[in-house]
């Protein structure tokens, strides 16, 4: 039977609850325990899949095809435990389930209310898989006091009462602001946040306080007294040079010990933190540096490409080099028409995924620059499709090559579609069918699918196998009908779906490193297990840097 740790936040948002949860999961693993992490989000979207990256950052996709919050990416990167559909839920999903049950007559005509029907639905979600692990860490999105979060706070309060005593604890993450004018670290916002939490029946067992610097002993004692927690359970969370320092930093502060003490687990197993010490050593003591240009259209918000940024860091860890990534707006290339002046000097170019036509011509120019100048290139999802369009236009003579996605967006036929809307594909033993008119949410090719790699190809050497499984999130595919024409011009289709109908990987033989993949390899990369594509991409960038 799992022990439950509920992580809540207060004072302000974006304090790093997801990172703190992930780091705590890693520390419990280091002590030999099994863990699973979950995210409960108060927003009314049924899932994040239809939300703009500017609204909520990237969408993280699980093996079983769920579109989830980006915090699940943190959970996977720190614990290595593959997230599942049942590890993420929103208010929208909870209310949708309740209303579906009401329509079916499951409630036998009763009046449907937040308590008990919505809170019971949340508690049912929490119970899924509770017998599979030693610890279940559940992060509640938002901050205490948010009106939309109240059903979740009430549900976890009830859940703690339903379970045997000592089965659940509550960890609260807050901010300690520093007022430079008076030279004071202020505890009052945290006191009020805890007061708000206790007013709804939840008393925190562990208090994690974000601050720019150390928390003096006097302030720790004050927080312990006024927030009714043990002094050793007041944990400082200072700003770090790298997020991958978090497990070691939290361990030094005693977070894992405070959690085990709250559960009265004694004696606690000693932690083995060797792999995190190695990761941090590689980050802090690099033996080289590479510069990567990421050409996208959501460049104003770093969280839009969070997993890609982290996967590049992991590639740097694998090669013991520092990766300096520059985010370049692809529309800049379209406005100026001058690609070379923006891309010269970079050791490699990465074009990530995205939706819609805006900025795509700039990305195509970036792919052309990388191909012609022999600069290492990694195209992911749309980045792979645009590399195919570039080759179709400039190598295969299809000067009007494009994607059906762009024609559908404009409502007119403008291109020869070498990229088409996928209407049917195999998912295991069943056939999935989609149309352009379908709802947007959850209607893409989502989750893990196998691919067969061509023997002797560059990617088969990188992976060290001929069969791989990677996560997908897209509606449009490269048309296999153009394979022969494109391969005759030098673009090799080196990875296909098992039935041979869907191109998964393209590469250019003879180029130092030019690979496009239809899937999202960044979603499976971890600091202690970098994805092979990113590790080799950074290796190629390092070799490129040594040429100049």
**Residues marked as catalytic:** 381, 520, 522
The whole-angstrom separation of Cα 138 and Cα 140 is 7
| 532, 542 Cβ separation under 8 angstroms | no
Q: What is the number of other CB atoms lying within 10 angstroms of the CB of residue 298? A: 20
The whole-angstrom separation of Cα 154 and Cα 120 is 10
Instruction: Using CB atoms within 10 Å of the CB of residue 206, give its burial: 0 to 12 exposed, 13 to 18 middle, 19+ buried.
Output: buried
Q: Where on the phi/psi map is residue 134: left (φ > 0), alpha (ψ -120 to 50), or beta?
A: alpha
Q: Where are the alpha helices (DSSP H) in 12-166?
A: 17-30, 53-56, 71-79, 91-104, 119-127, 150-162
3-class SS of residue 444: coil
The whole-angstrom separation of Cα 127 and Cα 51 is 28
The whole-angstrom separation of Cα 435 and Cα 458 is 35
Helix (H) or strand (E) holding 266: none
Can you read off the two tokens belonging to residue 19? 């990172």
Q: Is the N-terminal amide bond of 267 cis, ω within 30° of 0?
A: yes
The whole-angstrom separation of Cα 250 and Cα 23 is 8
Q: What angle do CA 221, 226, 227 make, to 5 degrees?
A: 95
Altogether, the residues listed in the chain come to a count of: 548
3-class SS of residue 234: strand
| 492, 509 Cβ separation under 8 angstroms | yes
Q: What angle do CA 14, 472, 66 make, to 5 degrees?
A: 55
Can you read off the two tokens belonging to residue 38? 């979950």
What distances in angstroms separate CA 75 from CA 25, 68, 160, 246, 497, one per listed residue?
8, 12, 23, 13, 29
| 419, 477 Cβ separation under 8 angstroms | yes
Q: Which of 134, 121, 123 is nearest to 32 (CA)?
A: 134
Pairing of strands 289-296, 60-61: unpaired
Write the CB contacts of 46 (distance below 8 Å, at least 6 apart in sequence).
90, 92, 93, 96, 441, 442
| 273, 259 Cβ separation under 8 angstroms | no
């Amino acid at each position: 039977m799992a022990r439950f740790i509920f992580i809540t936040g207060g004072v302000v948002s974006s304090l790093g609850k997801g990172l703190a949860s992930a780091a705590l999961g890693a520390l419990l693993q280091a002590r030999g325990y099994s863990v699973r992490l979950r995210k409960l989000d108060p927003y009314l979207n049924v899932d994040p899949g239809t939300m703009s990256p500017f609204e909520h950052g990237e969408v993280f996709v699980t093996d079983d095809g769920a579109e989830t919050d980006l915090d699940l990416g943190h959970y996977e990167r720190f614990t290595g435990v593959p997230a599942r559909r049942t590890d993420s839920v929103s208010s929208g999903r909870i209310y949708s389930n309740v209303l579906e049950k009401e329509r079916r007559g499951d409630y036998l005509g009763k009046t449907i209310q937040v308590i008990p029907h919505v809170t019971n639905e949340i508690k049912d979600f929490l119970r899924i898989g509770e017998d599979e692990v030693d610890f279940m860490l559940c992060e509640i999105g938002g901050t205490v006091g948010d009106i939309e979060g109240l059903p979740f706070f009430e549900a976890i309060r009830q859940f703690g009462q339903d379970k045997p005593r000592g089965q659940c604890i509550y960890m609260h993450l807050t901010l300690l602001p520093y007022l430079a004018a008076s030279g004071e670290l202020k505890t009052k916002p945290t006191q009020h946040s805890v007061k708000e939490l206790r007013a709804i029946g939840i008393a925190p067992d562990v208090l994690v306080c974000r601050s720019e610097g150390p928390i003096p002993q006097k302030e720790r004692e004050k927080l312990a007294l006024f927030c009714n927690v043990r002094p050793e359970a007041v944990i400082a969370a200072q700003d770090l040079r790298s997020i991958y320092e978090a497990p070691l930093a939290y361990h030094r502060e005693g977070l894992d010990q405070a959690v085990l003490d709250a559960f009265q687990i004694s004696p606690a197993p000693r932690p083995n933190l060797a792999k995190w010490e190695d990761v941090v050593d590689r980050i802090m003591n690099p033996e080289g540096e590479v510069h990567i240009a990421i050409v996208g259209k959501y460049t104003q918000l770093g969280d839009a490409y969070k997993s890609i940024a982290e996967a590049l860091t992991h590639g740097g860890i694998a090669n013991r080099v520092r990766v300096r990534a520059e985010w370049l707006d692809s529309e800049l290339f379209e406005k100026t028409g001058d690609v070379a002046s923006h891309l010269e000097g970079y050791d490699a170019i990465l074009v990530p995924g995205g939706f819609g036509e805006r900025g795509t011509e700039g990305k195509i120019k970036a792919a052309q620059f990388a191909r012609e100048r022999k600069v290492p290139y990694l195209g992911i999802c749309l980045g792979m499709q645009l590399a195919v369009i570039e080759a179709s236009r400039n190598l295969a003579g299809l000067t009007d090559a494009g994607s059906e996605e762009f024609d559908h967006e404009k409502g007119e036929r403008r291109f020869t579609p070498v990229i088409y809307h996928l209407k049917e594909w195999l998912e295991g033993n069943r056939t999935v069918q989609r149309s352009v008119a379908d709802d947007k949410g959850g209607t893409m090719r989502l989750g893990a699918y196998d691919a067969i790699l061509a023997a002797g190809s560059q990617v088969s050497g990188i992976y060290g196998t001929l069969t791989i499984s990677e996560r997908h999130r897209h509606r449009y595919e490269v048309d296999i009908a153009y394979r022969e024409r494109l391969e005759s011009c030098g673009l090799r289709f080196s990875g296909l779906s098992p039935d041979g109908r869907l191109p998964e990987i393209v590469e250019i033989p003879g180029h130092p490193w030019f690979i496009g993949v239809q899937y999202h390899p960044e979603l499976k990369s971890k600091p202690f297990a970098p994805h092979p594509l990113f590790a080799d991409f950074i290796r190629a960038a390092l070799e490129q840097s040594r040429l100049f």
